[in-house]
Amino acid sequence: MADEPTIGITMGDAAGVGPEIIVKTFAQRANFDGYQALVVGDADRLRLADKIVGSKLEIRAIEKISEAQFKRDTIDCIDLPLIPADLPFGQLSPDCGDAAFRFLKRAIELALEGELDAITTAPLNKEALHLGGYRFPGHTEILAELTGTSEVSLMLFGPSLKIIHVTAHLGLIEAIERIDPPLVERTIERGRALLVDSGKEPRIGVCGINPHAGENGIFGRGEEETKIVPAIRRCQDRGWDVTGPLPADTLFYRAGRGDFDLVVAMYHDQGHGPFKVLGIEHGVNVTAGLPIIRTSVDHGTAFDIAGTGRADERSLIEALKLAAILTSRANLR
């Protein structure tokens, strides 16, 4: 319907599972409740994926969103024909790295122009991205660069746990060096902003850096007191429900049972490890702080099963649902 938000799905790395999970998702079009979707990618690669999974969908190559029909049993694809016909699945390719960047760039342009209400991304491969000539750690940094955003946060949404990261794609030593009170406060602010639209003040738990959150200075070099506590106090002074720093091991347990609506993790693996143990098939990655809405699957390109038809599409379905919800909330502001 014309009043439904339009979500653009980027194909990601065409040698990975992206094309297959996209086709599988469109084959379950009944899941498209309250939104319409199209793909930004290579139409011929989608046709190959369609044969692999046996879904028998029509792939319509289009140039403009205005040409999309959003019909059942059809995938409208903003076609960027960049993938060689004989390119194998499951192998690193500079062609795929270059194409993944260009698919994303086109989708960002369409979103900034207001033609897309949100972007949902299939996975890209960081090594292929580098081989293609783009020295970015991943989607998050590309999105920030191409939207002119100075700082964003990686956020994970799951059925029982939501996590935002103070640092993400950095080595552990560099991550700890990067953390400071203003960054912690800004991260809490971005996470709270995404949740507060749901109608209540979110309960936010903040992880420490060291084991047992430093145990009052026994572990570490006082990082909790110097890097985290000042930010928490400033957030509390703003009237927000923020608690911490707390030991990460017990905080994630408490959040999982419902004591907190959001966990603030200090570095990548502190947040990703517990989240993925709960099951990545229902996990969604969100980039907080962008001028556009972006969600993503919470898994990689899975080269080991790419091209076999075995890829699990559930995370993509959840990412689309969340993009539609976030779009609706944004429209209510």
List, in order, residues 6 or more apart from 312 with CB less than 8 Å away: 21, 281
Q: Please give the backbone phi and psi of residue 264, each rounded to the nearest 5 degrees, phi first.
A: -100, 110
Q: Residues of CATH 3.40.718.10 domain(s) within the chain?
A: 1-151+290-333, 160-277
- Over residues 21-49, the mean pLDDT reads 93
- Measured from the Cβ of residue 290, the count of other Cβ atoms closer than 10 Å reads 21
pTM of the model: 0.91
| pLDDT at residue number 199 | 63
**pLDDT band for position 282 (cuts 50, 70, 90):** confident
Quick check: helix, strand or coil at residue 92?
coil
pLDDT over threshold 90, residue 279 = no
Encoded tokens for 27 = 């084959």
- Over residues 180-190, the mean pLDDT reads 97
**pLDDT band for position 330 (cuts 50, 70, 90):** low
Q: Which comes out higher in pLDDT, residue 3 or 119? A: 119
Determine the topology of domain 1-151+290-333 in CATH.
Isopropylmalate Dehydrogenase (3.40.718)
- Over residues 291-313, the mean pLDDT reads 95
- Over residues 310-333, the mean pLDDT reads 86
**Cα angle value 77/82/83 (rounded, 5°):** 95
**Cα angle value 289/294/297 (rounded, 5°):** 125
List, in order, residues 6 or more apart from 274 with CB less than 8 Å away: 161, 163, 252, 256
| pLDDT at residue number 1 | 44
Which helix (H) or strand (E) element contains residue 190?
A: helix 181-196
What does the chain come to in residues? 333
Quick check: helix, strand or coil at residue 2?
coil
Task: Using alpha carbons, list the distances in angstroms from residue 108 to 139, 232, 290, 293.
Answer: 11, 34, 11, 10
Which helix (H) or strand (E) element contains residue 231?
A: helix 229-237
**pLDDT band for position 63 (cuts 50, 70, 90):** very high
Model confidence pLDDT, tens digit, residues 200-258: 799 999 999 999 987 888 888 989 999 999 999 999 999 999 999 999 999 999 999 99
| C-alpha to C-alpha distance for 131 and 138, rounded to whole angstroms | 13
Task: Using alpha carbons, list the distances in angstroms from residue 35 to 26, 155, 185, 238, 324.
Answer: 13, 22, 34, 36, 6
Model confidence pLDDT, tens digit, residues 99-140: 999 999 999 999 999 999 999 999 999 999 999 999 998 898
Q: How is residue 63 annotated by DSSP?
A: S
Name the superfamily (CATH) of residues 160-277: Isopropylmalate Dehydrogenase (3.40.718.10)
| pLDDT at residue number 283 | 82
